[in-house]
Amino acid sequence: MSRRTRTAKGAAPTVHIPRQRGRHQGPQVIVVVSEEPTLTARATAATGRWVWKHRRTWAPTGLALLLLPVTGIVHLITPWAALVAAPAAAVPLAVLGWKANRTAEAGTPAERARRIALAVLALASLTWFSMALWFGPAEPVLMGLWSLITLHAQVTWLFARLRSTTTKGTR
């Protein structure tokens, strides 16, 4: 019985097929030797598992990374959409003013500061969105602003999640 190594085109990289000679030929035995994944494949798989495990923690960054190319595509197709989106930048300030006038006491100073911070973040995000639709998201100033807004949203998200889990655990 001799051994031959044949390379197969397909999923298996190397296939060893032992040849049997003579009258008594039994069933064919095929041995598939799999190769170790490359370092790049292993790193990609580990990164994918880590991202999937922490997907809720990194939601704002994922949303920002999704919004960036979508904004670029919309800018290329219809840059005049910025004129439609620009009035939406005033909505967070209007909601903040309406909320302050609606209640006599607007809550604790921490709650007011949190509302103001979220209104400023929403105002900056919507302003960036409308400017990116008009000028394109690849402008250096807009990329810097996008980075700062994404960083601020991620940090705010992490602190809010940390605080919500801390307050739930102490009650």
The dihedrals phi and psi of 3, each to the nearest 5 degrees, come to -110, 140
Residue bearing tokens 């705010």: 156
Q: To the nearest whole number, what is the mean pLDDT of the chain?
A: 82
pLDDT, average across residues 154-161: 89
pLDDT, average across residues 3-29: 60
Q: What is each CA distance from 162 to 34, 47, 56, 67, 81, in whole angstroms?
A: 44, 23, 12, 25, 37
The packing angle between helices 109-135 and 59-77, to 10°, is 30
Pick the more confident residue, 90 or 19: 90
pTM, two decimals, is 0.66
Q: What is the pLDDT of residue 171?
A: 47
pLDDT digits (tens, 9 = 90+) for 73-109: 999 999 999 999 999 888 988 888 888 777 656 677 7
77 CB burial (10 A radius; 0-12, 13-18, 19+): exposed
d(CA 54, CA 128): 27
